[in-house]
Amino acid sequence: MSESVKSSVLRLNELLPLKARQDRHAPAFRALHRAVIVSLVARGRPPSRAEIAAQVGDMQVDAALARLGNDDLVVLSADRRDILGAYPVTSEITPHALEVNGHSIYAMCAVDALAVSPLFDCPVRIRSHCRVTGDAVTIRQHGERIVDASPAAVQVGVRWQAPAGHCAAHSLCTEMIFLKDVDAAAQWHGGDWQNHSLYTLEQAVAFGVDYFRPLL
């Protein structure tokens, strides 16, 4: 792992310490958190309340959702009764659509999108767009290998900021994006390297894998 990727993982863990938060929970709630991620990728949907009850017990469903939601380990519906997503994937519509295991789901951000295939060792097709130009971005991936990418020079950009409120998916993640080429990237970062980072697709894959793998 390159030094830039190592420092990025550390920086993201300072802003969004998912692994540290996961470790604070009881084993049953940690297992539920992992099951949410797996269910979204394998089945294209989060577990239902009945499925959650089968895992943690009928009397613990609301407590499990509240505790995982309060730690931003899962994204909940507006009434906080159902799980919508768990980093890196979600059923909420985002700019980053994934085709995986015959299902259509979404990633929270560009880094998250590139982490799914290597984390689960399955082919993934990513459909997104360049934040600057709006041009379509399409990436096919199998494991850590980028099978093809259009445009060929696409990069990943991160504008570093603390999550707003209780949900990084709706704040920090919206600034982790695809950029079609070096010109779009230059326009996006404007020379502000303190608050912006750029990655090749391969670097972004390594970043996402090293950040998310400990959760699973």
Same domain, 132 and 197: yes
Give the total number of structural domains in the chain: 2
Residue partners of 169: CB distance under 8 A and separation at least 6:
72, 75, 85, 87, 90, 92, 94, 108
C-alpha span between 145 and 163 (Å, rounded): 30
Residue partners of 128: CB distance under 8 A and separation at least 6:
95, 96, 97, 110, 113, 136, 137, 138, 139, 178
Q: How confident is the model at residue 39 (pLDDT cuts 50, 70, 90)?
A: very high
What CATH number does the domain containing 50 carry? Answer: 1.10.10.10
Q: In the chain, pLDDT over 90 holds for what percent of residues?
A: 97
C-alpha span between 33 and 68 (Å, rounded): 8
Span 41-78, pLDDT tens digits: 999 999 999 999 999 999 999 999 999 999 999 999 99
Q: Are 141 and 170 in contact (CB under 8 A)?
A: no
Among 29, 64, 86, give the residue marking a domain's end: 86
What is the span of the domain harbouring residue 120? 90-215
Span 75-102, pLDDT tens digits: 999 999 999 999 999 999 999 999 999 9
Q: What is the pTM of this model?
A: 0.95
Among 86, 111, 135, give the residue marking a domain's end: 86
Which pLDDT score is estimated for 1? 67
Same domain, 95 and 179: yes
Q: Please name the residue that has the structure tokens 């959760």.
A: 215
Q: Could you tell me which of 150, 120, 146 has the C-alpha nearest to residue 202?
A: 146
